């Protein structure tokens, strides 16, 4: 029988308990025992199917703990997931993230099956711009190269010279050796990059619907309520938020900061699952979670992952007419190796 995608209704049996008990310790700080008994039957079955189908599960830092810490084989930000997708020898990639990430995995692995457990997992940034918009900008700024955030559709990537992520945006812009670039589609990330380089930046009005909601007032309130707190912010946040942070960086750079510096108390100004996942890894650190959830990331659940592996659907396909050009833009990005944690 195929799993019901919306409900956690598989039984927690003694066999399931025996197969999964060692995994509970990974999420004991964020998942209750009662919740675990709902999740464990799915985790056990997903693990079996991964072996049977030679599948690998990639999960973004914004996935929930039971996915991120119990069924994911590779975790990371969109850059590391793109790089992992290039290297895997699995036949099937299950992307626990959003549509553009699954498309990027398919671009890098055209011969593999790429599954996205819910096709409706989109992204406000990716939806803010079309291929026609990029062509119009090029016409407005003749000869100016286009750098596109990976949070875009394959059709937009195909109109692009090189992609970037929040982890390598400055390095990618500077690697072009030009005085001016068109940087799409995140206005706030573009402003942050502009503050770190002498390259002139032309941008677009795209925003992440999660990060744009943070305010400088929230940070000031956090500092007042929790003296000594260290504030880490993602560069998709508005400029006044970044100006009030102690550190600005991609999700991977934030993780690196926590690992190396071990602050006693920290606020992660990003999607709130990120801090939720770190609670299990760093129980001695107190994480404040100003909670803005990404509704698109939330669409990926254990029952949907199981259903995807059982049915080998939904599969991601990229139009061959654009795939080659889009892949080239991603490959140019992964060739830029300078200081990935620079933003
Ligand atoms: S957190 Fe923002 S950028 Fe990331 S997938 Fe959600 S809407 Fe897109």
Over 70: is that where the pLDDT of 2 sits?
Answer: no
Residue 210 Cβ inside 6 Å of ligand 1? The answer reads yes
pLDDT of residue 7: 74
Ligand 1 pocket: which of 150, 204, 209, 299 to mutate (most atoms within 8 A of CB): 209
> In this structure, which topology does domain 14-122+297-311 adopt according to CATH?
Rossmann fold (3.40.50)
Pocket test for ligand 1, best of 96, 101, 150, 151 (most atoms within 8 A of CB): 151
How far, in Å, is the centroid of ligand 1 from the Cα of 124? 6
| CA 98 to ligand 1 centroid distance, Å | 8
pLDDT > 80? residue 289: no
As a whole number, the mean pLDDT across the chain is: 93
Please say if the pLDDT value at position 341 is more than 60.
no
pLDDT of res. 152 = 97
159, 135 contact by CB (below 8 A): yes
Mean pLDDT of the region 155-183? 96
Question: Could you tell me the distance, in angstroms and rounded to a whole number, from the CA of residue 261 to the centre of ligand 1?
Answer: 27
**Which atom of ligand 1 is the closest one to the Cα of 186?**
3
What's the whole-number mean pLDDT along residues 166-181? 95
Evaluate: CB of 151 within 6 angstroms of ligand 1: yes
- Percentage of residues of the chain with pLDDT beyond 70: 96
pLDDT at 336 (0 to 100): 84
Q: Where in the chain is the domain with CATH 3.40.50.10800?
A: 14-122+297-311, 126-208, 211-287
User: How much is the pLDDT for 6?
Assistant: 66
294 CB under 6 A from ligand 1? yes
What are the distances in angstroms from CA 225 to CA 222, 229, 263, 291?
5, 9, 17, 16
- Listed range (123-137, 168-182, 198-212, 277-291) with the worst mean pLDDT: 277-291
| CA 14 to ligand 1 center in whole angstroms | 39
Residue 305 has pLDDT above 70, yes or no: yes
SS3 track for the chain: CCCCCCCCCCCCCHHHHHHHHHHHHHHCCCCCHHHHHHHHHHHHHHHHHHHHHCEEEEEECCCCHHHHCCCCCEEECHHHHHHHHHHCCCCEEEEECCHHHHHHHHHHCCCCEEECCCCCCCCCCHHHCCHHHHHHHHHHCCCCCEEEECCCCHHHHCCCCEEECCCCHHHHHHHCCCCEEEEECEHHHHHHHHHHCCCEEECCCECCCCHHHCCHHHHHHHHHHCCCCEEEECCCCCHHHHHCCCEECCHHHHHHHHHHHCCCEEEEECEHHHHHHHHHHCCCCEEECCCECCCCHHHCCHHHHHHHHHHCCCECCCCHHHHHHHHHHHHHHHCCCCCCCCC
Task: Report pLDDT for 272.
Answer: 86
pLDDT, mean of residues 184-209: 97
Distance (angstroms) between ligand 1 centre and the Cα of 111 equals 27
Report how far ligand 1's centroid is from the alpha carbon of 122 (Å).
8
**pLDDT-above-90 percentage for the chain:** 83
Q: What is the pLDDT of residue 87?
A: 86
Domain 126-208 has CATH 3.40.50.10800: yes
Higher pLDDT: 280 or 242? It is 242
Residue 211 CA: nearest ligand 1 atom is: 2
Q: Give the residue-averaged pLDDT of 304-331.
A: 96
Question: In which residue are the tokens 């396909």 written?
Answer: 317
Q: Can you identify the CATH homologous superfamily of domain 211-287?
A: NadA-like (3.40.50.10800)
Residue 271, ligand 1, Cβ within 6 A: yes
| Mean pLDDT (whole number) for 22-32 | 91
Q: Is the CB of 296 under 6 A from ligand 1?
A: yes
Would you say the CB of residue 123 lies under 6 angstroms from ligand 1?
yes
**Closest residue (by CA) to atom 8 of ligand 1?**
123
**Residue 288: predicted pLDDT:** 84
Nearest alpha-carbon partner for 98 in 69, 74, 124: 124
Per-residue pLDDT reduced to its tens digit, 257-272? 999 999 999 999 999 8
Q: Is the pLDDT of residue 338 over 50?
A: no
pLDDT score of 343: 37
């Amino acid at each position: 029988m195929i799993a019901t995608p919306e409900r956690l209704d598989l039984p927690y049996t003694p066999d399931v308990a025996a197969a999964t008990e060692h995994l509970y310790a990974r999420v004991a700080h964020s998942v209750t025992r009662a919740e675990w008994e709902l999740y464990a039957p799915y985790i056990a079955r997903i693990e079996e199917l991964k072996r049977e189908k030679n599948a690998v599960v990639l999960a973004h830092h914004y996935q929930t703990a039971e996915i991120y810490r119990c069924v994911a084989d590779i975790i990371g930000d969109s850059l590391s997931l793109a790089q992992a997708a290039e290297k895997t020898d699995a036949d099937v990639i299950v992307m626990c993230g959003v549509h553009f990430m699954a498309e990027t995995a398919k671009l890098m692995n055209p011969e593999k099956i790429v599954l996205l457990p819910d096709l409706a997992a989109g992204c406000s940034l990716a939806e803010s711009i079309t291929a026609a918009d990029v062509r119009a900008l090029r016409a407005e700024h003749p000869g100016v190269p286009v750098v596109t955030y990976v949070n875009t559709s394959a059709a937009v990537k195909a109109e692009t010279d090189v992609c970037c992520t929040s982890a390598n945006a400055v390095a990618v812009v500077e690697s072009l050796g030009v005085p001016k670039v068109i940087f799409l589609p995140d206005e706030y990330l573009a402003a942050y990059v502009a503050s770190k380089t002498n390259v002139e930046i032309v941008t677009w009005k795209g925003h992440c619907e999660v990060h744009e909601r943070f305010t400088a007032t929230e940070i000031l309130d956090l500092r007042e309520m929790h003296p000594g707190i260290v504030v880490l912010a993602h560069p998709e946040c508005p400029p006044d938020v970044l100006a009030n942070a102690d550190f600005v960086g991609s999700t991977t750079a934030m993780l690196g900061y926590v690992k190396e510096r071990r602050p006693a108390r920290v606020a992660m100004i990003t999607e709130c699952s990120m801090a939720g996942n770190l609670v299990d890894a760093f129980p001695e650190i107190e994480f404040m979670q100003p909670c803005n959830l990404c509704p698109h990331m939330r669409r990926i659940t254990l029952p949907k992952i199981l259903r995807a592996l059982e049915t080998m659907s939904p599969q991601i396909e990229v139009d061959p007419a654009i795939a080659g050009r889009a892949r080239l833009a991603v490959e140019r990005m992964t060739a830029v190796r300078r200081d990935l944690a620079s933003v």
